[in-house]
Amino acid sequence: MNINRQGGPHCILCRGQIPEKTKPEHVLLNALGGRMTVNHVICPSCNHKMGIGPDNDLADSVAFIRNICGFKAGDGDEPPEIRGLESGGTKLDLIPGMRPRLRPKQPLDIQITDKDIRVQVNANSRQEAEKLAKGAAAKIAKQFGRKGGDVIELIAQDLLKDSTSFFSPAPSISYQAGFGQGKSQQAAAKACLVLWAKHCGNDEVNSKRYDAVRHYILTGEKTDNPEEIVKLDTRTLPDLPERFGLHPNIIWVGSDPAGQTYGYFRLYGAIGWRIALCGQDAPVSRHVCLISNPYDNRSWALLERAENPIDHDWVFAQWETWPPDYRNVQSRMALLLKYAHAKSQDDWMANLVREGLEKADCREGDIITPGHIEIFSNYIGRALTAHILKTTVPEE
């Protein structure tokens, strides 16, 4: 942190003074599993602007990956739900862990005529059906001028007495992941600049030498040659310590002996952007690297001085960006999807077994009876049949 003459550190984006009481700022986004925070690098106003703009775009672009792989946020929050997907005419949401939750076409349909009342409830679970039935019961009770929880409860139970349950096959979901979309790259550039400020101090980063990248972060406007600020990198990542896994998130900043400085942001080990921070005269031959493992975001490290996981030469190298070659990105992503698929299968099976045991009212320590086995195997058999034959199977 730098205290300058006007008393207090200055924001590296707008150069405004940062109030003493300012919330810490994540270097790697919380949504990407970032745990490291810094104080007094960016002012609350710029932090807010970045949060609702570029940071939000970057977080959005990885929401699907996070959902299917079960990647938690840095603060331990669950991965996001993906809402409003469609598969073969069925609308569905994805709850974390690639678990589809179908959206019934019409959850509740009530028709009240002089002769009778028709109620149809479509739900994904017993609890959901009970909730919908209660809502319907309240409406019916009101229609007939009846009040009281008991009356509503009775009607709801009556509605549910003829209910049937089905196993539905898993819908197939296709999704196009779009990394670096929107303003994401501005968020990546900001992350690099924040890390460099943490390493060298705000005053260094507030010098005019960094004006071009600062302008880019704030506005998205690049100079005449767009590559001068951000350069896409689809090369294979050098080998890194095993504890960071195959898909690390990396923010690296380093300078050469002339003080030319590049930032480098690598997303899930798959795709990267090199960002030009400063042309010359920065503190020379330095590096700082924040690296974290999204599979277990407690595995992260800030590496400085002797430890350099990425070679300067590799970042400073020349490479062709046109035509883009996404083969390396695809093969790295394929490994990620393989992991997600295996994990969701394991979770699905574990969940099914748990439900089957519940259905059979079989608890840990119970002696297993033929009755247990019959209910359990019937339940599992029907669920597997729906899954394998891709058809709807009644629960019993």
Q: Footprint of Zn ion on this chain (CB under 5 A)?
A: 11, 13-14, 16, 43, 46
Identity of the residue, 43 or 132, whose beta carbon is nearer to Zn ion in the bound complex: 43
Closer to Zn ion at the Cβ: 13 or 132?
13
47 vs 185, beta carbon nearer Zn ion: 47
Beta strands in 152-222 (DSSP E): 166-167
In whole angstroms, the minimum distance from the beta carbon of 274 to Zn ion comes to 25
CB 187 within 8 Å of CB 194: no
Residues listed for the chain = 396
User: What DSSP element (H or E) covers 373?
Assistant: helix 370-389
Closer to Zn ion by Cβ: residue 10 or 72: 10
Max CA pair span of the chain? 89
Least distance from Zn ion to the Cβ atom of residue 50, Å: 9
Smaller CB separation from Zn ion, 192 or 291: 192
Q: What is the number of other CB atoms lying within 10 angstroms of the CB of residue 99?
A: 17
User: Shortest gap between Cβ of 227 and Zn ion (angstroms)?
Assistant: 27
Residue with smaller CB distance to Zn ion, 8 or 279: 8
Question: Please, which residues have CB within 8 angstroms of residue 308's CB and are 6 or more apart in sequence?
Answer: 254, 287, 289
The nearest distance, CB 16 to Zn ion, in angstroms, is 5
Q: Is 274 exposed, middle or buried (0-12, 13-18, 19+ CB in 10 A)?
A: buried
What backbone phi and psi angles, to 5 degrees, belong to 250?
Answer: -130, 135
Token pair 């840990």 in the structure block, residue: 364
DSSP secondary structure of 116-163: -EEEEE--SSHHHHHHHHHHHHHHHHHHTT--SHHHHHHHHHHHHTT-
- Say which residues have a Cβ less than 8 Å from residue 332's Cβ, sequence separation at least 6: 237, 246, 247, 268, 269, 270
CB of 44 to Zn ion, least distance (A): 8
**Would you say 216 or 244 has its CB closer to Zn ion?**
216
